[in-house]
Amino acid sequence: MAVDPLIAFSMTILPLLALIFGILVSLWGAVRVDRWLLLGTVLLGLMGGHQLTEAYQLVLGGNPYPSLFGEGFETAVNLLAAGLLWVVTRRILTERRHREQQAVLARELSSDSRPVGGEAEVDDSGADGLFGLATSDLPLVGRFVTAAFRTLPLGTTADLPSAIETAVRNLQVTYPATTVDRETVEELTVFAEPSTLAEIVETVLKQFVVYNDTNDPAISIAVSTRGSTAVVRIEDNGPGLPNAVADQLAGQDEDSMAPNFELVPVHGLLEKWGGSITVESGAVEISVLRTKSGGSEIE
């Protein structure tokens, strides 16, 4: 009895191709990523053996599908197995690269850093400093710290209003009850890495929310210019930031035994960009250098 070509393709050829793909992926993953992925090769090989048997029966003119429902289920399982193996291999490879990046980060943070556009500074105290291996366990913060201790590439600029808007939007996803009042600034270009600048503003905003003891936390953001500098002033309707938080933001608490790795890099990063951060009277001021065409003066 002849078998419909579409059924033969769907029930035998397609899953066989998927299993061959999965076997190749697992072999590649076993060599490049983790040898335990050889187990996937064995599993998919056994599953592929069944599909080869069906293909052989088709060649001989037989009908290897006694139950289309069962064959459909088997095909779905084969496709799912090959797809999952691909996902797992990619995930392991990503984690491996992440660990390698963390190792590089740890070496960078334990060595000398460079100022923006300047010569290397010699500072032997960095080897056993605050940014040790503990930071490598924090992926998001790890990227933050890496940026903080790298030279800002020449010509790297950010639109300050866009960075503030991104930070506020991200904050309100996590804290939707928080009201943020910010002045409208049409254009203001500064020397900074855009995504990292947004992370800095978001980090400061989160501190005000966390330590606000009112029922309706409200934060205000004002932007002004002072000569060649753009200043972002952030304050809230609460008691302000604790001294420990303020000191770490301002880079004045390097000897803390319990550092907040989300706060500590902020000062060093802005300093490398030629800016600064100050905390006084419950308000935080983030200063960054404006470009020559970075917008008009703002009072």
Q: Are 109 and 132 in contact (CB under 8 A)?
A: yes
Q: Quote the radius of gyration of the chain (alpha carbons, Å).
A: 28
Low-confidence ranges of the chain (pLDDT < 50): 108-142, 148-149
pLDDT of residue 67: 66
Beta pairing class for 229-236 and 283-289 = antiparallel
Question: Domain-by-domain residue ranges, the chain?
Answer: 5-106, 153-289
pLDDT of residue 254: 58
What's this model's pTM, rounded to 2 decimal places? 0.51
Cβ-based neighbour number of residue 299 at 10 Å: 4
| CA–CA dist 140, 65 (Å, integer) | 51
| CA–CA dist 189, 126 (Å, integer) | 32
Tokens of 50: 């069944």
pLDDT of residue 202: 92
Tokens of 198: 């947004």
pLDDT of residue 297: 62
Q: Are 91 and 113 in contact (CB under 8 A)?
A: no
- CATH homologous superfamily of 153-289 equals Histidine kinase-like ATPase, C-terminal domain (3.30.565.10)
